[in-house]
């Protein structure tokens, strides 16, 4: 009996959705939210709450109150004009906030250890000025490495269009597998989001080498020591050398991350002996 009930619920959900994609359901939810019929945060999922809002809309518009997105209901909903909120007029919104508020559908896939690929679709009927900030975090659904953006991109999203973006990124989970094109990600806050939000814009502004960026990220997200950083290879051996490591330590300190409380600080004597510049040696010797 339970299996029969579950099957009925699945069939009803399929009928409710009526072939609509997640971005289309988000647009429906935003329209119903504008009319005061939908409560909560639009999420692109057609469940009982959305069905109840659809029934209310149908009852208010002399349509059969089935709770299903049939062609007549969709046609009526398409006539709803959602005014552009004044808070969004000419203002930028971060990708993280836009996804959280249901304004953008973000499909994120892996590429390799240095990039993520994004397809972005607005779910609202007005233009969005979108900022993908350095430090934006992407959580892998399949257990490969999570990724963090190492560059900022400013985009304009217009209704009913999509934009594809290749975004420079760094790995945020040292021991895990490198993502590939089959891996999918969600935009979500990182466990160390406050530190990454301070660190990544500085690394971008100072245009440091990728190996220094990766070292800094692993020092923050994985509390990596010098031996741990050796996991990154360039085909000839370890990619992150002593100079990269100390430069990463300096950048962490520059944004208020106390490097003396990290595992990497235990390697300072070894690093002092292998860095190539006297300035880096002096920093390690004198830093407290």
Confidence class of residue 196 from pLDDT cuts 50, 70 and 90? Answer: very high
What secondary structure letter does DSSP report for 132?
E
Residue 45: CB atoms within 10 Å? 13
Place of tokens 């709450």: 49
Distance between first and last Cα of the chain: 69
Instruction: Give residue-wise pLDDT tens across range 151-167.
Output: 999 999 988 889 999 99
Instruction: Tell me whether residue 168 is exposed, middle or buried, using C-beta atoms within 10 angstroms of its C-beta: 0 to 12, 13 to 18, 19 or more.
Output: middle
Percent of the chain with pLDDT over 70: 88
Confidence class of residue 233 from pLDDT cuts 50, 70 and 90? Answer: confident
Contact 200, 135 (CB under 8 A): yes
What are the residue boundaries of the structural domains of the chain, listed by start? 2-78, 84-190, 191-288
- Classify domain 2-78 at the CATH topology level: Muramoyl-pentapeptide Carboxypeptidase; domain 1 (1.10.101)
- Which segments within 83-183 are labelled E, that is strand? 92-94, 104-112, 115-122, 128-132, 137-140, 147-149, 153-157, 163-171
Cα 108 to Cα 119: distance, rounded to the nearest angstrom: 6
pLDDT of 34 higher than 90: no
Q: What is the mean pLDDT of residues 18-25?
A: 66
Instruction: Give residue-wise pLDDT tens across range 202-227.
Output: 999 999 999 999 999 999 999 999 99
Instruction: Give residue-wise pLDDT tens across range 124-148.
Output: 888 899 999 999 999 999 889 999 9
Instruction: Please tell me the least confidently modeled range out of 6-15, 38-47, 79-88, 109-118.
Output: 6-15
């Amino acid at each position: 009996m339970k299996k029969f009930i579950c099957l009925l619920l699945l069939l009803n959900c399929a009928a409710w959705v009526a072939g609509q994609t997640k971005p289309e359901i988000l647009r429906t939810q935003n329209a119903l939210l504008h009319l005061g019929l939908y409560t909560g945060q639009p999420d692109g999922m057609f469940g009982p709450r959305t069905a109840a809002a659809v029934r209310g809309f149908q009852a208010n518009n002399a349509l059969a109150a089935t709770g299903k997105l049939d062609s007549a209901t969709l046609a009526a909903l398409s006539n709803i004009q959602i005014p552009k909120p004044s808070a969004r007029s000419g203002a930028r919104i971060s990708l993280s906030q836009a996804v959280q508020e249901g304004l953008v559908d973000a499909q994120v896939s892996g590429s390799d250890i240095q990039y993520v690929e994004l397809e972005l679709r607005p779910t609202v009927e007005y233009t969005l000025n979108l900022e993908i900030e350095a430090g934006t975090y992407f959580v892998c659904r399949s257990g490969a490495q999570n990724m963090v953006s190492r560059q900022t991109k400013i985009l304009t999203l217009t209704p009913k269009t999509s934009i594809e973006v290749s975004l420079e990124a760094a790995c945020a989970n040292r021991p895990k597998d490198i993502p590939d094109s089959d891996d999918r990600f969600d935009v979500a806050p990182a466990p160390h989001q406050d530190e990454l939000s301070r660190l990544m814009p500085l690394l971008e502004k100072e245009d440091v080498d990728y190996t220094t960026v990766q070292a800094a990220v692993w020092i923050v997200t994985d509390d990596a020591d010098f031996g741990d950083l050796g996991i990154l290879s360039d085909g000839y051996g370890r990619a992150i050398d002593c100079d990269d490591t100390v430069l990463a330590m300096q950048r962490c300190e520059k944004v208020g991350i106390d490097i003396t409380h990290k595992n990497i600080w235990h390697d300072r004597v070894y690093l002092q002996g292998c860095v190539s510049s006297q300035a880096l040696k002096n920093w390690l010797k004198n830093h407290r």
